Amino acid sequence: MKKTITVAIMASLLGMMAVPAMADNGRRGHDDYKHIQKAYKEQQKSYRKYQQDRYKYERDRYRYNDRYYKHDRYEQRYRPVYQNGPRVWRRGDVLDRAYRGQGYWVNDYRKYPRLYAPAKNQRWVQVDNDYILVNTLSNVIVSILTGR
């Protein structure tokens, strides 16, 4: 009887030790996967935060700053210069940059009775009522026909 009780106690102890092992059901790595998944999500979150901070830094770094980009700094260069009276043109002067665009070119000089054929590398430019013959390479005024 003692042997039977001892064997029963031993069997119950062994059974108690085997229960947790049987409760696993072969999913021993499942907890490790959850741990890896959680670490991956945290890594993604920190990377998103890094990207947001980087974007904010770049946006602030290249933001338009009035201190460096004054309006009057560039306006005079690309806008016609208006004076108190009509502009006086002189031979040998350089044509203003504002009047060098295609909107001022006279493409068909034959339509205008006073204009003659321009030489090579020359072009007629109409500014208000004045017709100016300009060297296209250096933008120097060659001839002037005023409409006044």
135: domain range?
Answer: 90-145
The count of domains in the chain is 1
Q: Each residue of 4-45: pLDDT tens digit?
A: 888 778 777 776 666 555 555 555 656 677 778 888 888 888
pTM: 0.44
Residue 127 inside a domain? The answer is yes
The predicted pLDDT at position 28 comes to 60
In angstroms, the CA 146 to CA 53 distance is 62
The predicted pLDDT at position 75 comes to 47
Reply yes or no on whether the pLDDT at 134 is more than 50.
yes
Residue 130 inside a domain? The answer is yes
Average pLDDT along the chain:
78
Residue 49 inside a domain? The answer is no
Residue 40 inside a domain? The answer is no
Residue 118 inside a domain? The answer is yes
Of the candidates 110, 107, 80, 82, the one whose C-alpha atom is nearest the C-alpha of residue 96 is 80
* Residue whose structure tokens are 């204009």: 115
Reply yes or no on whether the pLDDT at 141 is more than 90.
yes
DSSP character string of 17-62: HHHHHHHTTT-TTHHHHHHHHHHHHHHHHHHHHHHHHHHHHHHHHT
Q: Each residue of 62-115: pLDDT tens digit?
A: 665 555 555 555 444 445 555 666 678 889 999 988 888 888 999 999 998 889
In angstroms, the CA 148 to CA 141 distance is 18
Output the domain CATH number for residue 103.
3.10.450.160
